[in-house]
Amino acid sequence: MADRPLIAPSILSADFARLGEEIAAVAGTGDNRADWVHVDVMDAHFVPNLTLGLPVVKALLASTDVPIDCHLMIDDPDRWAIGYAEAGAYNVTVHAEAAKDPIALAKNLRAAGAKAGLSVKPGTALEPWLDALKHYDTLLVMSVEPGFGGQSFITEVLEKVRTARRLVDTGHLKLVVEIDGGINAETIEQAAEAGVDCFVAGSAVYGAGDPGKAVAALREQAARGRAG
């Protein structure tokens, strides 16, 4: 488990006209500093929403030293994901439901310089992907249906988190357990108790008056949840 809870603000909830400033707001020091910045790439095919793509990610990478965590909710990630790794994204996550050859894709992402992440939708079972996950650095458990921010947290996915946590703690997997969807002051402690390492939070950070303080508050809550 990560030494301390990792907080990854999602710019899906930020002001798209001020993305550089919005990332700077969580790039401070100490507990106010985000560990990763989570960037949702949606193509209006794999999910019904359209957000942003590689040109914007390149601009964000040039504007901050906070590691960029790219979550690709797109068709054909085997073709497109490598570009995000080559651009300098810290972590590039693809969907199990969209990848044609997830093991080869993980190897290619790592070869291009990024950590490789695999995401599963709320209704996708974890067990069929356990062998593939041996090649990944991150497991992103979706706790809402991918595509739109502001949805309610789906508690049932925490069973997948617990399974992944056991496999990591026993050495069968070596990865960061990340969760995305509906993470806020009401849900973060139960997610932490289940074994999450990294928490993606959108409106809980960018809906706050001071996003940096919101990051610190969420981290403190996650630490409490972890302590039980």
More confident residue, 183 or 148: 183
Average confidence score pLDDT of the chain: 96
For residues 96-102, average pLDDT: 98
Provide the pLDDT confidence category of residue 148 given band limits of 50, 70 and 90: confident
Q: What is the pLDDT of residue 39?
A: 98
Do residues 13 and 206 lie in contact, with contact meaning Cβ atoms separated by under 8 Å? yes
Do residues 163 and 215 lie in contact, with contact meaning Cβ atoms separated by under 8 Å? no
Task: Quickly count: other Cβ atoms within 10 Å of residue 107's Cβ.
Answer: 13
Percent of the chain residues past pLDDT 90, beyond the cut: 95
Q: What is the pLDDT of residue 188?
A: 98
Residue 2 has pLDDT above 70, yes or no: no
Percent of the chain residues past pLDDT 70, beyond the cut: 99
Do residues 56 and 96 lie in contact, with contact meaning Cβ atoms separated by under 8 Å? no
E strands along the chain, which residues? 6-9, 37-42, 68-73, 91-95, 115-120, 138-142, 176-180, 198-201
Q: Taken in order 5, 8, 9, 12, is the CA torsion positive or negative?
A: negative
The amino acid at residue 153 is F
**pLDDT tens digits for 65-94?**
999 999 999 999 999 999 999 999 999 999
Q: In what order do the strands lie in the sheet with 115-120?
A: 6-9, 198-201, 176-180, 138-142, 115-120, 91-95, 68-73, 37-42
Residue 14 has pLDDT above 90, yes or no: yes
Residues carrying an active site annotation: 40, 180
Residue 203 has pLDDT above 70, yes or no: yes
Residue 131 has pLDDT above 90, yes or no: yes
HSE-CB at 64 with a 13 A cutoff on CA atoms is 28
Q: What is the pLDDT of residue 12?
A: 93
**DSSP reduced 3-state for 142:** strand
End-to-end alpha carbon distance in the chain: 15
Helix-helix angle 77-87:54-63, to 10 degrees: 20
